[in-house]
Amino acid sequence: MLNLLLVGANGHMGQRVQTLAKENFNLFTFDIVGDANFSSFDQINEKIDVVLDFSSPRGTSQVVNFCKSNLVPLVSAVTGHNEDERKELEGLSKYVAVLHSGNFSTGINVINKILKTLTKDLIDYDVEIIESHHNLKKDVPSGTCKMFVNTIKSQRDLKETYRDETSGKREKDEIGIHSIRGGSVVGEHSVLFLGNDEIIEIKHTALSKNVFVPMALKVCEWIVNKEKRLYSLSEYLLDENSL
Ligand SMILES: NC(=O)c1ccc[n+]([C@@H]2O[C@H](COP(=O)([O-])OP(=O)(O)OC[C@H]3O[C@@H](n4cnc5c(N)ncnc54)[C@H](O)[C@@H]3O)[C@@H](O)[C@H]2O)c1
């Protein structure tokens, strides 16, 4: 069994990963709060085969340093990275295999795939995205929303906008983004293509945080034998014929 280091092990996601990971991995837990095997990377003497990060973007530097020093591949599920943190992940991929995804649910990745076709085919339609999450979520817009925006922008020359009272009339080249925060919403994403006299809406609702865990763990098994570089989740899905 592979030795998996789970960073952010005591968080909402980490606890769910702990439950499922024990079946297929020797699990080592890491968190700076609460009980865990480790609360500092200096404490780790075990040989770790793969790191799964479900903590916070502010922990990325330390995770990257550990993976770089010990040549351990990294699966990062963290969202809300700033430019420097994104560059650190990219830099790490010169030494080990790295995969980052803001959403490990199958449904969201199917939607991301079909969005390419929809964006190309619905060429004159206005595109808007509405995303809703629980009131504890720190980053905005969601990592999934950013992923959708990148996919749409790969097909059409559009720019994201966050409308407010200064915005005025909608421009043709906008992707309007609307973020709702409240209650215990796990995650909802709607992509709307608005045309004359019709609306096409693609909507995904995550009913439980468990939806993100199985694929994240499968990617951990997949990445251990991969060459050093940055991987996308689409590459994993193509490789596994999952979608
Ligand atoms: N990629 C996906 O599919 C997906 C799905 C859900 C959530 N997420 C992301 O996963 C992350 C965690 O989400 P959550 O809901 O579990 O959050 P959470 O706040 O409940 O848990 C985060 C945990 O990380 C720990 N932590 C914070 N900084 C740390 C550091 N520097 N080193 C080690 N541990 C640290 C905290 O103590 C906490 O236990 C967020 O970025 C969230 O957006 C990703």
* Same domain membership, residue 215 and residue 132: no
Burial of residue 123, with CB atoms counted within 10 A of its CB: 0-12 exposed, 13-18 middle, 19 or more buried:
exposed
* Same domain membership, residue 174 and residue 88: no
Pocket probe mutation, ligand 1, options 13, 185, 204, 219, max atoms within 8 Å of Cβ: 13
Q: What is the number of structural domains in the chain?
A: 2
CATH code for the domain of 10: 3.40.50.720
* Same domain membership, residue 86 and residue 19: yes
| Model pTM score | 0.89
Pocket probe mutation, ligand 1, options 28, 43, 56, max atoms within 8 Å of Cβ: 56
* Same domain membership, residue 187 and residue 225: no
- 146 classed as catalytic: no
Nearest CA to ligand 1 atom 19: 11
* pLDDT tens sequence across 123-172: 999 999 999 999 999 999 999 999 999 999 999 999 999 999 999 999 99
* pLDDT tens sequence across 82-116: 999 999 999 999 999 999 999 999 999 999 999 99
* Same domain membership, residue 165 and residue 131: yes
By residue range, what is the domain housing residue 42?
Answer: 2-100+210-239
Set 81, 100, 133, 189: catalytic member:
133
Contact call for residues 92 and 76 (beta carbons, < 8 A): no
| H or E segment and range at residue 181 | strand 174-181
* Same domain membership, residue 73 and residue 162: no
* Same domain membership, residue 117 and residue 199: yes
Which residue type does 126 have? D
Answer whether 14 contacts ligand 1 (Cβ < 6 A): yes
